[in-house]
Every structure is written in structure tokens, then in C-alpha cells.
Chains A and B, each alone.
Chain A
Amino acid sequence: MLKIYFGDLDNVLHNVETYFNNQYQYAWLDDEFVKEVINDVDKSIVQSPECILSPVLRQIPPTKLSGGTKAVILMKYVPERIINASNCGNNCAKWILKLGEDKDITINLHHIMEFDADSFEIEVLNSNFIVHNMKELVNTAVDFL
């Protein structure tokens, strides 16, 4: 399940860019989920684990992916860390939800992310409520931001 803590929290991984740039593994870029995220968010194609084809930046290494994509990849491969998902735009939200369908992941948010789905299950750790849609999420989140 996806779990969210809104607001300040200790031991959160905030510096997603630098952490990813220094810790990513080539095998991560060979994963189908990761390739889909890169294709959808960065509009780019993984040609090989070392080379990604971006329509704007041309051929780039994984270190040049967007901060949001890096954050999602870290959520998958470093689930023991709580990632600051305010590095992610709304276009990453569906991928974060998808990750939460397969396993427990906890993220930290300092803004209200729009999860564009009719229904979902997200646990808001500040209150231990489980919310099922954006209406419930917004009503809960505003108390903690």
C-alpha cells in the first residue's frame, strides 16, 4: 500500500538527484516498469541501461533524467528509504500509485499531489486514516500542510 506522511519528517531522502546519480544501478534501467516511467514522464526511450534517448536533450545518461523519474525509481529500488515525493510532478502520481499496489512504500509530501484515479487506497500516516479518493485525501492533507 502507498503510505504518505505530510509535512516535515526526520530521515527523509530529500536530495533525490544527487543520491540517484551516485547510487543508481544499470540493472534498474533494464526493468520494464522503469522503462515505462521514463517513456511516460520524460517522453524518452531507454536504448540501453547507459543511454536514454530524450526528444529534447538527445542522448543522455540516467543522471540526466528528471528529478521526478529519479524519485520514482528510488521508491522502487530503495523502498527502505522515505523519499520526498515533492520532487515529483503530478505526472508521476499514477506511477507512485502503481508501485503502492504491489508493495508497501512510504513517501513524504510537502504539497498535495493529484492522484488522477477514481479510487485508490492510501494511508495518511499523520492520522492513520485510509483515504480512497482525492476528496478524502485533500480534506485530510490540508490539516498537516
Chain B
Amino acid sequence: MIRRTAWVLALAAVYGACIAVVEPDLGRLWAGLPRLARWLGGAFPPDFSGFDDMLRRAAETVAIATLGTTLAALLALPLTLLATRPVAPLPALYHPARAVLDTLRGIDGFVFALLFVAAVGLGPFAGVLGVALHASGSLGKLWSEALETADPAPLEAALTAGASRAQAAVVLLIPDCLPLLASALLYVWEATIRTSTVLGLVGAGGLGQELKNAVDLLDFARVLAILIVIVALVIAADRLSAALRRRLV
């Protein structure tokens, strides 16, 4: 009973602290509701004029996600091998490699894209670099977990046969875990599609660019049309990824 009360008090303290920081003001929400309703009313019917441009931006979004995920895979592979305990060729680098993966995963692709827009200029290339860095962290984490949970016996058999850890990883472990690794790659691609839909808000290309332009012009019919395209794109990517993953695993 005392333990339960302590949990309730702790939870109340956490929520109290959150509310103190955020200072939610229901009065402001109430005052803003008519404005939201007016915008929503103005959004109908959605404005699909210039649909070709939307499709071009949607294609750009898919391209950013696909190239970004591919680059992420190339970056993640060596980090994964360093951060997978049974095959790590240099045990001293195990924890640093894990820390690098955690850092890459901890910083959102949106933030990386913001930095790359400043570094390489506006456009989808900055988006590719941004999502690649974040996705490499996620992918490396998923891959190293998949490899670490694999049956260690074949690996031990290879080591007793005189194979190096790196050889055993490349010849035995990775091919044997390929369905799981490919599934993780598809999952990250699917998540990167979602991230890529908003990269345009920081000038890194894709559908988000169209969205930002429409919001800046308070053109809510256009905003709704773009949101419909985004939702359709994300659902299509989810379905495709899920179908492929089902076949793989």
C-alpha cells in the first residue's frame, strides 16, 4: 500500500513538474479554436491544382528516403560490426561504437538536415545527408541487436576453425541473419519516408517544402491537399514495407 502511494505521488510530481514547465493555457486554446475552425472550413475542398508539382515533390521525398537509407546502411555496417559483442574485432572500440550509434540515433534527422542546409545549401541533398546520419544510428542499433541475439554456436564453430571474428561475421553471421537485417532496413526506410515528408520545413526538399509554402500563404485548401498526399504516401510505404518484411522473415 505504501509502495503504491509512493508510486502515485511520484507520478503526480512528474506531471506537476511537466505542467509547471509547459504552462498550458486552456483560455488560449479556447480563443484559438474559432481561428482553427475558420482555417478548417477554408480547407474544403482541397486544392489539387498543380498536382504534377505535388507528385514531383512526393517523388523527391521517396528519393531522399531511399538514398538516405542506402547511405545510412553504408555508414551503419562498419559501426554495427564494431558494436556487436560476439564479432567486434576490437573489443576496446565496442563501447565507443555503441556511443556513436546512440548519438546518431538521439539526434533527429530534422536537426541534422537543418545543419546540412546551412552547410551544403537548400535542397534535397541536405535532406539525404540529414536523414542518413540519424537513420545510420537507428539501423546500427537494430542490426547489432539482431546479430547479438543470433545463435552463437555457428560463430564459435567458425572461430575454432581458425576464422577471425570479422571473417566469421561477413561469411557466416550476416548471411545467416540476412532476412532480419533486410527487415530492419525496410523498417528504417519506412520511418525515413515519414521524416522526409517534413524535411522541406527546414529547406531540405520533399513534400514539406510545398507544405511550408502553402502554410506561409495561409492557403489551407492547398495544405489539406498536400496532407492527403503525405498520408497516402506514408500508408503506401508502410504497406509496401510490411508486405516485403513479411516475405523476408
Tell whether A pairs with B.
no
Interface residues of A (CB under 8 A from B): none
